[in-house]
Amino acid sequence: MLLRYWGGHSPCCEGCGWCWHLCSDPCVLPAVWVSEIMLQQTQVATVIDYYNRWMQKWPTLQALAEASLEEVNELWAGLGYYSRGKRLQEAARKVVSELAGQMPRTAEELQKLLPGVGRYTAGAIASISYGQATGVVDGNVIRVLCRLRCIGADPSSPPVIDRLWAMANALVDRSRPGDFNQALMELGATVCTPKAPLCGECPVKQHCRARLRVEKELALASQKLLGKLPPVPDVEDCGVGDCPLCPPAAEPWDSSLGVTNFPRKAAKKQPRVEQTATCVLERRGHRGALEYLIVQRPSSGLLAGLWEFPSVPLAPGLQQEQQREVLRDHLQAWTGQPVGVESLRFMGEVVHVFSHIHQTYVVYSLPLDGDVTLDLASSPSRWVTEEEFRASAVSTAMKKVLKVCERQHGEESGPAKGSKRKRGAKPGAGGSTRPGTQLSLRAFLRAPNPP
Ligand code: SF4
């Protein structure tokens, strides 16, 4: 099976990934690179399907280099942190066009030459794919090493980061660096876990200073109970002076935490709070199907190149009426048509937390009786059915926005407000007239009108 694949450059199995994992052909897209990028900030269970579809679609560097950002975003839709997919594709282009199709093979070159490849990803690709004896430091490795060496200072501080990388590079097995690195990460994921480490089953427990510290603390406590004087601290215990690796003096050892005193939790940066008004413009398209207007975001910055409902950032503290006016102005400037503030209907709010932004979308809808003139030069836009919307490169936040609108329309067309017909809806149909939504039960059971 592998030989067939290596000879033909096209997947010959059900997409288990082993061919891609093992193949060393320079033309083949390094599977470790793709999986490592996808696994940043995302769990394995979520990634598997995306990974398989990606590798089936773009098994070679050439194929990925020829893909458009639109295709990349469509495949990535729902995985979050969209710049990862964009940079992966940019890097493939760079390898093909500037590096004669040859992937860099050392951690230093990978990090230096490829967009989106940081120190960890570079170390993982170089050691697992190309056998370079270089270490890796991810969240799991940080936890294991901090416990092994009782490092209690903030693990995101430069002295601690430097020490952890130095330790990882010193420890890595020269003959099987890829296996060693994966084993170390697996140890952190399955044995030396964040809250309930299985120290009794740990293969490196004899070398673990956190475990030793726990034993010493227990011995000390029992000596105190027996009224004996505490021994003079061992210099190896550290915790005194200005050591950049030790816990701060203000944060004493918590005996109830045991080895989980390490690593110390890094201070979390609060995401900034933002508000955006977003408008779901609707019209009846061909054959009466409901259609929505979506526009494409700029090709750089947050959610680059993705499609969304027309949106505009809001200044903090605006009242609902002021928000409508901001949105109205934005839509007027963009469509070149007058938009009445009163025709913007408030649908609800959607909160979506990006890595660094706590974003609230204030959702409005605007049903239109006909098409609008679009200023295509300023931002690409198109009308899509619900099905096309879901297949497009749209963010999870925008899917939530549409859900809020659909829920609101569903409530309006339900039994309590069944007589209220939405502007632009086709007259004559009982209950809900929107494709894709069911008739209300009352409308369904209503006796037919007498002839
Ligand atoms: Fe982690 Fe416990 Fe093993 Fe130390 S002995 S590395 S704390 S699991």
Tens-place pLDDT, residues 147-174: 999 999 999 999 999 999 999 999 999 9
Distance between Cα 168 and ligand 1 center (Å): 16
Residue 333 lies in a domain: yes
The pLDDT value recorded for residue 299 is 83
What integer pLDDT is reported at residue 373 of this predicted model? Answer: 54
| Average pLDDT over every residue of 406-432 | 52
Mean pLDDT of 417-425: 38
User: Does residue 304 form part of some domain?
Assistant: yes
Residue 336: predicted pLDDT? 76
Q: Name 351's bridge partners.
A: 360
* Position 51 in a domain: no
**pLDDT above 90 (res 19):** no
Question: What residue type is assigned to position 192 of the chain?
Answer: C
- Asked if residue 398 has pLDDT above 70, the reply is yes
* Residues 308 and 394 sit within 8 Å (Cβ to Cβ): yes
Asked if pLDDT for residue 140 goes beyond 90, the answer is: yes
pLDDT of 385 strictly over 50: yes
Q: Is the residue at 400 inside a domain?
A: yes
**Residue labelled with tokens 């749209």:** 394
User: What's the whole-number average pLDDT of the chain?
Assistant: 82
Counting ligand 1 atoms within 8 A of each CB, the residue from 146, 149, 191, 261 with the most, and so the one to mutate, is 191
- In this structure, the residue with its CA closest to atom 4 of ligand 1 is 208
Task: Write down the pLDDT at residue 232.
Answer: 55
Q: How do strand 272-284 and strand 307-308 relate by DSSP bridges?
A: unpaired
Most confident segment among 80-84, 336-340, 401-405, 437-441: 401-405
| Distance between Cα 203 and ligand 1 center (Å) | 8
- CA nearest ligand 1 atom 2, residue: 199
The predicted pLDDT at position 177 comes to 96
- For residue 404, the CA-to-ligand 1 centroid distance in Å is 47
149: which 2 tokens? Answer: 């060496």
Decide whether any atom of ligand 1 lies within 6 Å of the 259 Cβ: yes
pLDDT band at 127, cuts 50/70/90?
very high
Asked if residue 147 has its Cβ within 6 Å of ligand 1, the reply is: yes
User: Residue 376 has what pLDDT?
Assistant: 52
Q: Is residue 371 part of a domain?
A: yes
Does ligand 1 have an atom closer than 6 angstroms to the CB of 210?
yes
Q: What percent of the chain has pLDDT over 90?
A: 59
**Per mean pLDDT, which range of 83-87, 244-248, 274-278 is the poorest?**
244-248
CA distance 386 to 406: 10
322: tokens are 């002021």
Q: Is the pLDDT of residue 237 over 60?
A: no
Structural domain total, the chain: 1
Domain extent at residue 393: 272-411
Res. 209: pLDDT tops 90: yes
Sheet strands (E) in 138-271: none
Residue 338 belongs to a domain: yes
83-106 average pLDDT score = 94
Q: CA 209 → CA 236, 237, 294, 429, distances in Å?
A: 10, 9, 57, 74
Query: Residue whose CA is closest, atom 1 of ligand 1?
Result: 192
Mean pLDDT over residues 179-194, rounded? Answer: 96
- pLDDT (tens digit per residue) in 210-236: 999 999 988 888 888 887 766 655 545
| β-sheet bridge partners, residue 353 | 358
Told to judge if 36 belongs to the known catalytic residues of this protein, a careful annotator would answer yes
How long is the chain?
451
Cβ–ligand 1 distance for 263 under 6 Å, the answer no
In a domain, 157, yes or no: no
Whether 332 maps to a domain, the answer reads yes
Q: Which pLDDT band holds residue 38 (cuts at 50, 70, 90)?
A: very high
Ligand 1 centroid–CA 117 distance in Å is 30
Ligand 1 binding pocket includes 199 (Cβ within 6 Å): yes
Looking at per-residue pLDDT, the higher value among 423 and 244 belongs to 244
Mean pLDDT of the 291-301 span: 89
- The answer to whether the CB of 421 is under 6 A from ligand 1 is no
Does the CB atom of residue 212 touch ligand 1 within 6 A? no
DSSP strands (E only) in 237-287:
272-284
| Domain harbouring 379, CATH code | 3.90.79.10
Kind and range of the H or E run holding 321 = helix 320-335
Q: Does the Cβ of 113 fall within 6 Å of ligand 1?
A: no
CA of 194 to the centre of ligand 1 (A): 10
**What is the spatial distance between Cα 5 and Cα 80, in angstroms, rounded to a whole number?**
31
Exposure letters 239-269 (e unless 16+ CB within 10 A, then b): eeeeeebbbeeeeeeeeeebbbbbbbeeeee
Which is the closest atom of ligand 1 to the Cα of 144? Answer: 6
* 142 pocket-lining for ligand 1 (C-beta < 6 Å): no
Instruction: Give, in degrees to the nearest 5, the angle at Cα 60 between 56 and 64.
Output: 85
What's residue 7's pLDDT?
33
CA-CA distance, 69 to 78, in Å (whole number)? 15
The answer, yes or no, to whether any atom of ligand 1 lies below 6 A from the CB of 137, is no
Q: Which of left, alpha, beta for 67 (phi over 0: left; psi -120 to 50: alpha)?
A: beta
Q: What is the pLDDT of residue 355?
A: 78
DSSP state of 60: B
According to DSSP, residue 11 is labeled -
Mutate to test the pocket of ligand 1, among 193, 205, 215, 257 (most ligand atoms within 8 A of CB): 205
How many other C-beta atoms can be found within 10 angstroms of the C-beta atom of residue 1? 10
Ligand 1 pocket test target in 143, 148, 171 with most atoms within 8 Å of CB: 148
Active-site residue, selected from the candidate residues 36, 90, 282, 291: 36
CB of residue 161 inside a 6 A radius of ligand 1: no
